[in-house]
Structure 1
Amino acid sequence: MTRSIRPDAVLIQAVIAGALSFAHLHDLAAAAGQTGWKAWAYPISVDLLLVAAWRRLRSDGPSRLAWCWFLIALVASLGANVATAGFLDLDQPPALLRLGVAGWPALAFLGGTLLAHSPTTAGDRVPVPPAPAAPAPAPEMERESAPVPAPHAAPLAAGEESPALPAVAEPAPAPPVPAALVAHARKVADDHQTRTGSPIDTDTLRARLGVPAHMADAIAAQLT
């Protein structure tokens, strides 16, 4: 089956942008004294370094080495676009531009070699912040088990003694309450009755005093 070729707007835009950048780099190199095939080699060198750095970022992850050479190649390409837009006199280029163009082959060779043969170490990687941990699930409330009914006692045979019933635990004695706390609780209760017209209940008294439930019961018993 033959595939139909459809124009892609992004691909067309990339081809146009690449052609313009390529031409600007060629014009800048030619203005700096690099004539003939050398002027055409400069844009290829810049674009290859840019692609090599981007491929290193995509394959090995973010690293300071790849980002450094990616920015160097990007500045070289962007600088050529700006310089050929009329900001520099290409008929008489400055000495600094000639120096940069002349030194670019050695710089691009160094960058390409480092990108191709330098392993990415742990210290070279750009630290990536860890993803936030998922919140711990809330503990499920234990379901109260239904009370198991006591089995019916079988009738006793003649002469058989009934089994002894378990002793019922006596309620724990009320905790001692300081007299100062009782006096303060009495003031709170009087104030509540004055404002509401009804005596204070145990839950409200416990909330106002900030005491445990068993101590609130003991204080309420002394206020009655």
Structure 2
Amino acid sequence: MSRSIRPDAVLIQAVIAGALSFAHLHDLAEAAGQSGWKAWAYPVSVDLLLVAAWRRLRTARRDRSAWTWFVIALTASLGANIATAGLLDLDHVPAWLRILVAGWPALAFLGGTLLVHSPTAPVAPAQPVREPAAPEVEMDRADEPAPAAAVPELAPAPQEPPSTPAVPAALLDHARKLAEAHRATTGNPMPADVLAARLGLPAPTTAAIVTQLQLA
């Protein structure tokens, strides 16, 4: 599919400005004694040096050499535009201007060579992202572990019957609290028959509780 070509004001302006600058450089070179194709080569040389310096500046903004040659080429182009605006008699060009025009090819060649062959600053490699190290956990403890809670001393239990019923955990905790309260009050372990009387449970269940609590 063909795309329609739309006029761009900026592009048109750039073409006109480039053509005028090109013509002014040609006129100045011809007035300074450069005739034929040599007069047309001067604007090409100035514009190419300007473009080469600008391309170098795009990749190395802090390159002093690129800035130097960019300013030199811009001065040559701007100077030709001003000189041909009626401020200079092109029929009687001064000697210093003839010297500048005659020496320009060597200067442009030097600038272009330096811009092309000057090494660019190496690009610093991307630093790898370091993941934060896991904190070290000290396994050796300086303090002593807290002693386990002391189990109240209970009297020895009678001979366990052959079949021991299962005791619910809640009932076993209740019996332990009773035994601890008895010991705290009397200073002696709670007898098994007293615990059986307090709980009011069947003999096998009471015997199983006494066995687990080690009551006498």
Residue of structure 2 equivalent to 1:93: 93
* 1:10 shift after superposition: 0.6
After TM superposition, the structure 1 = structure 2 runs for residues 190-209 of structure 1, keeping only pairs within 5 Å, are none
Percentage of matched positions with identical amino acids? 76
Name the Cα RMSD after superposition.
Answer: 1.8
Q: Structure 2 regions of 5+ residues with no counterpart?
A: 123-173, 186-216
2:155: which partner in 1? none
Q: How does 1:1-224 map to 2 (within 5 A)?
A: 1-121=1-121, 156-157=177-178, 158-161=181-184
Q: How many pairs align?
A: 131
TM-score normalized with structure 1 length: 0.56
**Matched position secondary structure for 2:70:** helix
Displacement of 1:120: 2.8
Q: For 2:75 and 2:101, how far apart are their aligned partners in 1? A: 13
Larger Rg: 2
1:84 counterpart letter in structure 2 = T
Q: Structure 1 stretches of 5 or more lacking a match? A: 123-153, 163-224
CA distance in 1, matches of 2:73, 2:99: 16
Q: Give the superposition deviation at 1:61.
A: 3.3
Distance 2:45 2:94 in 1: 22
User: In the aligned structure 2, how far is the partner of 1:3 from the partner of 1:160?
Assistant: 103
Regions of 4+ moved over 3 Å? none
Letter in 1 for 2:22: F
- Once residues 160 and 78 of structure 1 are traced to their aligned partners in structure 2, the CA distance between those partners, rounded to angstroms, is 111
Please report the TM-score for the alignment, with normalisation by the length of structure 2.
Answer: 0.58
How far off is 1:94 after superposition? 0.4
In structure 2, the residue corresponding to 1:161 is in which secondary structure?
Answer: helix
